[in-house]
Amino acid sequence: QVQVVQSGAEVRKPGSSVKVSCKASGGTFSYYAFSWVRQAPGQGFEWMGGIVPIYGKPSHSRKFQGRVTVTADESTSTVYMELSSLTPEDTAVYYCARGGSTLSENYYYYMDAWGKGTTVSVSS
């Protein structure tokens, strides 16, 4: 049974940073693709970045280049997303989602297990 458990809601001031965690259980953590996706209030989804822990090197959307850092800790089966230089436009629900396994697929960045989301509010 796959579980993706995210850290709790955060409130930040403009210009600050936030780091959200995502602990996954079930399956071989290191070989799965993990994505961070956000949804602003009443809006659709933006893929921010992702990582396959066994490969180490993350991929990030150019839109967030330089502001987002995705990392993974294989020892604790946890993935992290840090977003810096926050503005009120970054107010959103941030989701961590697990995708396919590199052991069985060549294209694996669909998302079959989602966390419940972490609300990040940015306001002065």
Partner 1 sequence: DIQMTQSPSTLSASVGDRVTITCRASQTVGSWLAWYQQTPGKAPKLLIHKASTLETEVPSRFSGTGSGTEFTLTINSLQPDDFATYYCQQYNIYPFTFGPGTKVDVK
Among 62, 66, 75, 124, binds partner 1 (CB under 8 A): 62
**42 belongs to the binding site for partner 1 (CB under 8 A):** no
Inter-residue contact 50 to 35 (CB < 8 Å): yes
Q: In whole angstroms, what is the distance from residue 7 CA to residue 103 CA?
A: 28
> Strands 45-51 and 59-60, how do they pair?
antiparallel
Beta strands in the chain (DSSP E): 3-6, 10-12, 18-25, 32-39, 45-51, 59-60, 68-73, 78-83, 92-101, 113-114, 118-122
**66 belongs to the binding site for partner 1 (CB under 8 A):** no
Minimum distance of partner 1 from residue 64's CB (angstroms) = 9
Minimum distance of partner 1 from residue 101's CB (angstroms) = 12
Among 45, 69, 71, 82, binds partner 1 (CB under 8 A): 45
Among 10, 12, 30, 46, binds partner 1 (CB under 8 A): 46
Residues making contact with partner 1 (CB under 8 A): 35, 44-47, 50, 59, 61-63, 95, 97, 99-100, 107-112, 114-117
